[in-house]
Amino acid sequence: MSGPTRERIGTVNRAATGGLRGAVMATVGATILGSAAGALLPFAITYVYEPRQTDPYFLIAGSALIVTSVITIVLKGTVVPFAISWRSISAETAWRTANRISAYMAAAATGLALAAMVVLVFVVIPMGNLGEEEAATALACALGLVPLPAFMAWCSVLCGLLYSAERYVFATWSETFRALAAFLVLALPASAKPIWLVAVALTVGEGARALLLRVAARSTLGVPAGRLGHISPQPLGRYWRVSMAQVLSLSIGGLSPLIDKAFASAQPAGSVTALELAEKLFYTPMMLLASGVGIVVGTRWSAMAESGRWDELVVDHRRWQVRLAVGSTVVAIVSIVVVHVLTPLLYQVLNLPPSIGFAALFTAYAIGLPFAMAGNLGGRLFVACKNTRLLPLFAIVLLTVNTVGDAIGAALFGLMGIAFASSTYRLVDAVLYLSFAGYVIRSARAAAAPVEGAVHHG
């Protein structure tokens, strides 16, 4: 890279730093508001219900989150770079095209949820130590959560539209609706709140969120009221290639937490609940960083790739990887200290089995936070470049690492071994993304060069 080019990139980046920092901080604040209720929910459930109810609930709810995380991560990320292109044609075109994606993905999400429920009922539940009553509770919770992935697919496309317009706050803050609906159930008298009703409430809350996001997205884009049948949606061939590779990757990767819980269900009673709570605590700082930094920076990288600013993209990717590595390491250390201090209180309030070292269990997860964030930023770079072909291969490697790690870890160290296996596969994840980042940018640049040349000659 030449000296003048580097100097120009530095000037542009310094000029944009203030606005970017403000967007990151606003998104972090909105994410805290949006995720606080969700982070507290599993602890409230554990406080209200007995372990014989929470174990089957967390087995199902945790598995449902695997399905929904595939949908939300893919759609929120992949819609952004394409929506930027569609909006350059017209707001109506972006709206119509996004609605078509929503319809397809909602149907796919429902099918995926039904398939996951079949696997849970006939494979996962029989593998665990669940009695007849616990198995019936698990089935009722699964039925209550079947529509949830479809609503989350709808919400995620709408969030992608808002992100493409650099409107982050409401999209992230509105995630609280799902958990708030569940808290309303927990406030009911004991006789009126079977635990499966919490699962139903999660679905209802997400449906309400979808309706509000639809109003916000249409208003933000400036799409007029009424039907838009005269507007033709954009072809979706390349979008499906990019998004389906990521869907396949995350679907494969999503099996890892499910396998974790299957191994944990063979441990002493309360192990699934403890693993779920430790994992939820781990995901809280991870999602704050992923939303506050990843969403904003990913949108910025999509705009750079769309406008052909490849040198800036290379510099910006390296800069944010270093910043997030330092920041996530600090957050991991602080989180470990806080959890160790609060562990005695958690044992008293949540009635966790004394044999489960909860603080150590959380530490085993938390040491993987810097690796998780490096992989998160790497994934956003691949999506911004509209090049996700390698992701399914990465996922197969990571699933193998996690499964072997679970088997060995559970046999040697019990629940702790399962948690360490999760951090190990996140380390491998970070290495893969960082190793191939340069290749992905060069490939995207080479693919864009003929198009840019045709524009200039035209």
- pLDDT per residue of the chain (458 residues) written in tens, 0 to 9: 444 444 443 433 443 455 677 777 888 778 777 878 887 888 888 888 887 788 888 877 876 776 677 777 778 888 999 998 888 888 888 898 998 999 998 888 888 778 877 877 777 667 666 677 888 888 888 888 889 989 999 999 999 999 988 888 888 889 899 899 999 999 888 777 888 999 999 999 999 999 999 999 999 988 877 766 667 778 888 899 998 898 889 888 878 888 998 898 888 877 888 888 888 888 888 877 887 788 889 999 999 998 899 999 999 999 999 999 999 999 999 999 999 898 888 777 766 766 678 889 999 999 999 999 999 999 999 999 999 999 999 999 999 999 999 999 999 988 899 999 999 999 999 999 999 999 999 999 998 765 544 444 44
Nearest to residue 379, comparing CAs of 329, 426, 332, 422? 426
Contacts by residues 298-302 (CB-CB < 8 Å, ≥ 24 positions apart): 298/77, 298/80, 298/380, 298/381, 298/383, 298/384, 299/80, 299/163, 299/164, 299/166, 300/20, 301/380, 301/381, 301/384, 301/385, 302/80, 302/81, 302/84, 302/164, 302/383, 302/384
pTM (predicted TM-score): 0.76
At 403, list the tokens.
Answer: 């499964």
